[in-house]
Structure 1
Amino acid sequence: MPEVDIPGSKSITARALFLAAAADGVTTLRRPLRSDDTEGFAEGLGRLGYRIGRAPDAWQVDGRPQGPAVAAADVYCRDGATTARFLPTLAAAGHGTYRFDASPQMRRRPLGPLSSALRDLGVDLRHEEKEGHHPLTVAAAGVRGGEVTLDAGQSSQYLTALLLLGPLTREGLRITVTELVSAPYVEITIAMMRAFGVEVGREGDVFVVPPGGYRATTYAIEPDASTASYFFAAAAVTGGEVTVPGLGEGALQGDLGFVDVLRRMGAEVTVGADATTVRGAGQLRGVTVNMRDISDTMPTLAAIAPFASGPVRIEDVANTRVKECDRLEACAENLRRLGAEVATGPDWIEIRPGLSGRASRPGFSGAEIKSYGDHRIVMSFAVTGLRVPGVSFDDPGCVRKTFPGFHEAFGALRGRLMP
């Protein structure tokens, strides 16, 4: 039974870095993800004056509840959405002038609802070019707190940023949320805040965060469930078996719910106390599934959908259009390049079966996948390449964003599933 060692969660590592930087004392983060996104987050903290010691398997962060150690800084957030959204929020709790910019890809991604909420809380925040996008400057003077209304229908990261800020304000926060996507990511945030000594209350659509700050701790980062989806999907489409240790019944990440989709399609799934196993059953069924809460795994399902016996329809994923790229259209375009029949709407994609038979025809070959610089497009279509010969990528290296060693790890698994 192949076991796959999945790197630490990007989402958890980013939250842990924020919490550690804000906590009173020295925090040790065990097995953090080392990728372009998380290294960029740590680099940004360093620019703000936080001290981080990085050993191969653990990072130590000297917390500063009072905020950044420097009065002025220029921070480059690279491609990282968590970096670009969380660090300006963290800086707002301090005192100084902090400028944030990002890659062209990240500059295109929206920030407006978070910026508006921070301004409603009295933060002096200015977008330098396009309103609601990077670059931006925060003239920080601490945050009093109070009540604020937030639309988190584009990204749950807006709500996470405000929740993380709450204990650093003088009065705490009451956040009324009008729309929310990817709700399980908010549950990750709340659970991690609890581990750092803060209990978030909830009254319907209102989140209540007390003041008082965080306490330092030692925190272990669990494997990344979104990354694990590619390896679970590989088992499902090849009839093989894959086990991921460290992701089990107590996992924080909602994206582990992707295995339930595979179960509905016919795969055998076992979720144990500290590991999850997926075994392919030789045939995948079509399915209609709402992926609003696990939308980062939408490309994974889209990439294996042509191998199902019936249509696969993925619904309520409008937010995937404002990720690293428009993932709905990127998946549709690449599937059509491979010969699949695909339709899309504002918040859905439907893929009809067909690649299974076509791929076995003599002379049928794959195509170059257009990645749009999006790590999830590349990793998802690597799974398609297990069944379709000739799949290649215009930018295979973009996986460094979350999993620099993906191609090596996936190649090793391929050798075990398809000797």
Structure 2
Amino acid sequence: MPEATAQQDTWTAPVADGPVNGRVRVPGSKSITNRAYVLAALAGSPTLVRDPLVSRDTRLMLAAIGALGGGHAETGADVRVTPVSAGRGTAGIALGNAGTVARFTPALAALGTREVRFDGDEAIRRRPLAPLLGALTGLGADIDDGGRGAPPFTVRGRGGLRGGAVELDSSASSQFLSALLLAGPGFGEGVTVRLVGGAPPSEPHIAMTLDLLRRFGAAPERDGSRFHVPAADLALAEYVVEPDLSTAAPFVVAALAAGGSTHVEGWPAETTQPGDWLRSLVTELGGSAELGPDGLTVTGTGEIPGVSLDLHEVGELTPVVAALLCFADGPSEISGVAHLRGHETDRLAALAAELSALGANVTDTADGLRIIPAPMRGGTFHTYDDHRLVMAGAVLGLRIPGVLVENPATVGKTFPGFVSAWDTLVTRTSD
């Protein structure tokens, strides 16, 4: 069970006095933004990334690219990324608690010519990384992790990587696989990855990586559990980032929890983002989701049935969905998300503890949660420095007075303006 952090500032999540009725525009996708930044860093010329997410994680990625000899310039809402370049000496990369930075940038360092030390928040030292570091070593990288398989570690760039074939256990995180595929065009022989040890979680994130590689000019191939990315010269003058559909989750389920209607602007008609699954969830829970040319409109009644959900491919939605299911008319089960124990915190243990502390009967199972609704009460909802738990606490507050969400600023990882946008939505309730 993760430890709750010391009491920090709290936010009283607003109660919906009636059905919600509002619009929101969520910021750009973190997953897409940081993948685009990595590929732009490997390209042969600058890339203009339009409408990227601006948050702690994406700034850490840009800082990492800068430490490796690249650069960036902000123009309004857009960022022009300059590719990394050769250089001498040592550098340091701050990881914060950003999984994409910790997993995507070591290969960039190995392709360079600097000695680079990686470290970050205490939480990132507990997140799994060993399979990726082992695979990079097998592909020719010089990495010293002191046998920990976790930060802090040092990558000594030797001016390139041979690449070739490698086996990888990516069952704990699809980011391990994405890290190798994103760097593959820069390897001398490209990279061929054969997955072992079970299927990675979140297949949509793998599809996202392959899609972005193609947009930048690479030619990735897939044959079941075998992936191949040949060496390639990357280039893309401009790329537009989609809104983050997982960050839209609390706004989508608000209409289900409180009744009423919410409209998420800019929802794409076609996307690789796992958050697009929310549209089918809305239907399964008795609401309606209508996709139009300017976004997604969700309508709900406030009545929620108990359900059994396998969220293996969309695990990051688990905190918000679990909070919603505390208001269902019967028991629910979430499965397929054992990998959430290695995210920003052990999300399964944290959710079981915090939801139960406010009155629900929630237990964590081997690969998910069992939720038995019960009368709930206000109190402090600890968030363990996890942005998705802040969003879960907001959903609880829709129907429970006095929910004090701890450390709301941690939501800045994906949506720095979340608290303001949520307050605006909930206070626009109809009579």
Q: TM-score, normalised by structure 2?
A: 0.92
1:149 is aligned, of 145, 150, 167, to 167
Deviation at 1:378, TM superposition (A): 0.9
- 2:150 is matched with which residue? 133
Deviation at 1:2, TM superposition (A): 2.3
CA–CA distance in structure 2, aligned partners of residues 418 and 392 of structure 1: 24
CA–CA distance in structure 2, aligned partners of residues 327 and 243 of structure 1: 28
1:260 is aligned, of 257, 270, 280, to 280
CA–CA distance in structure 2, aligned partners of residues 48 and 70 of structure 1: 10
CA–CA distance in structure 2, aligned partners of residues 367 and 18 of structure 1: 41
Residue 203 (str. 1) matches residue 223 (str. 2): yes
Residue 300 (str. 1) matches residue 320 (str. 2): yes
User: 1:222 is paired with a residue of what secondary structure?
Assistant: coil
Deviation at 1:68, TM superposition (A): 4.8
Deviation at 1:69, TM superposition (A): 4.2
Deviation at 1:418, TM superposition (A): 5.7
- 1:251 is matched with which residue? 271
Deviation at 1:274, TM superposition (A): 5.2
Contact 2:215 2:236 in 1 (8 A): no
Query: 1:138-183 CA distances to partner (integer Å, 9 max, x unpaired)?
Result: 1122111111111111111000000001100111111101231111
CA–CA distance in structure 1, aligned partners of residues 88 and 210 of structure 2: 29
CA–CA distance in structure 2, aligned partners of residues 283 and 385 of structure 1: 16
Larger RCO, structure (CA 8 Å, separation 6 or more): 2
Taking a change above 3 Å as real, the CA distance of residues 194 and 144 of structure 1, as seen in their structure-2 partners, is same
User: 1:308 is paired with a residue of what secondary structure?
Assistant: coil
CA–CA distance in structure 1, aligned partners of residues 87 and 41 of structure 2: 11
Unaligned runs of 5+ in 2: 1-20
1:116 is aligned, of 127, 134, 142, to 134
Contact 1:258 1:294 in 2 (8 A): no
**Superposition map of 1:9-408 within 5 A:** 9-64=29-84, 67-128=85-146, 131-141=148-158, 142-178=160-196, 179=198, 180-272=200-292, 275-354=295-374, 358=375, 365-408=377-420
Equivalent residue letter for 2:94: Y
Equivalent residue letter for 2:154: T
Contact 1:49 1:70 in 2 (8 A): no
Contact 1:99 1:138 in 2 (8 A): yes
- 1:362 is matched with which residue? none
User: 1:307 is paired with a residue of what secondary structure?
Assistant: coil
CA–CA distance in structure 1, aligned partners of residues 284 and 220 of structure 2: 34
CA–CA distance in structure 2, aligned partners of residues 407 and 25 of structure 1: 38
Contact 2:174 2:202 in 1 (8 A): yes
Equivalent residue letter for 2:328: A
Equivalent residue letter for 1:6: V
Unaligned runs of 5+ in 1: 360-364
- Determine what percentage of the aligned residue pairs are the same residue: 39
Contact 2:36 2:212 in 1 (8 A): yes
* Mean Cα deviation higher: 272-281 or 294-303: 272-281
Deviation at 1:344, TM superposition (A): 1.7
CA–CA distance in structure 2, aligned partners of residues 28 and 69 of structure 1: 24
How many residues are matched? 408
CA–CA distance in structure 1, aligned partners of residues 86 and 337 of structure 2: 36
CA–CA distance in structure 1, aligned partners of residues 365 and 371 of structure 2: 12
Deviation at 1:70, TM superposition (A): 4.6
CA–CA distance in structure 2, aligned partners of residues 160 and 290 of structure 1: 23
Contact 1:229 1:259 in 2 (8 A): no
CA–CA distance in structure 2, aligned partners of residues 35 and 83 of structure 1: 13
- 1:414 is matched with which residue? 426
Contact 2:71 2:81 in 1 (8 A): yes
Taking a change above 3 Å as real, the CA distance of residues 344 and 279 of structure 1, as seen in their structure-2 partners, is same
User: 2:169 is paired with a residue of what secondary structure?
Assistant: strand
Contact 1:249 1:274 in 2 (8 A): no
CA–CA distance in structure 2, aligned partners of residues 307 and 203 of structure 1: 42
Deviation at 1:248, TM superposition (A): 2.8
Taking a change above 3 Å as real, the CA distance of residues 2 and 394 of structure 1, as seen in their structure-2 partners, is closer
CA–CA distance in structure 1, aligned partners of residues 52 and 430 of structure 2: 31
User: 1:289 is paired with a residue of what secondary structure?
Assistant: strand
Taking a change above 3 Å as real, the CA distance of residues 69 and 416 of structure 1, as seen in their structure-2 partners, is farther
Query: 1:194-230 CA distances to partner (integer Å, 9 max, x unpaired)?
Result: 1111121111110110102311320011111110001
Contact 2:166 2:194 in 1 (8 A): yes
User: 2:37 is paired with a residue of what secondary structure?
Assistant: helix
Q: TM-score, normalised by structure 1?
A: 0.94
Query: 1:265-323 CA distances to partner (integer Å, 9 max, x unpaired)?
Result: 11111234552221113311111010000000001110111111121110010010110
